[in-house]
Amino acid sequence: MSRWDWMAVRAYLPAVFALVVAFVSSLVLSRWQASPYLAPLASSLGWVPYAALAAGGVHGLWVTVRLWRAQYGVGLLCECGGLLGAERRGRWGDLIRTCRACGRHWKSGSYR
Ligand SMILES: [Zn+2]
């Protein structure tokens, strides 16, 4: 796989994680329904699989739109064309974004 493929895989990982949480939580909650002690807890946590499914779907759609826009050179992109990650504090306290393809760090406001 090329580094562009790995960049896409890394971008989709949170969505995949949310879908796994939705699947596992639905299995666990259905088993808890059979227990007389855990049934009230399971009924009060019944929203968790739906929330995780919605979060995974929204994040997957957002990543798809970002990758689609990156094909045309639009969006928060590195010079190499890779997607820039979320803004975070760098080593010297300034705000930076990291390219998901090449790993280069960009100071806030210095990217396209
Ligand atoms: Zn880059």
The alpha carbon of 50 and the centre of ligand 1 are apart by a number of angstroms equal to 35
The alpha carbon of 91 and the centre of ligand 1 are apart by a number of angstroms equal to 19
- pLDDT band at residue 62, thresholds of 50, 70 and 90? very high
pTM over 0.85, yes/no: no
Question: Token pair of 76, please?
Answer: 């928060």
Domain range annotation of the chain:
1-75, 76-112
* DSSP conformational letter for 73: T
Count of C-beta atoms within a 10 Å radius of residue 92: 7
User: CB–CB of 82/99 below 8 Å?
Assistant: yes
Please write the tens of the pLDDT for every residue from 64-112: 999 999 999 998 999 998 999 889 998 888 999 999 999 999 988 776 6
User: CB–CB of 97/84 below 8 Å?
Assistant: yes
Cα–Cα distances (Å) from 112 to 12, 56, 70, 71, 79, in that order, read 23, 28, 12, 15, 8
The alpha carbon of 60 and the centre of ligand 1 are apart by a number of angstroms equal to 21
Res 64: pLDDT: 96
The alpha carbon of 100 and the centre of ligand 1 are apart by a number of angstroms equal to 7
Distance, in Å, from the CA atom of 56 to the CA atom of 27, rounded to the nearest integer, reads 17
The alpha carbon of 80 and the centre of ligand 1 are apart by a number of angstroms equal to 4
Distance, in Å, from the CA atom of 55 to the CA atom of 80, rounded to the nearest integer, reads 29
| Residue listed under structure tokens 């390219």 | 99
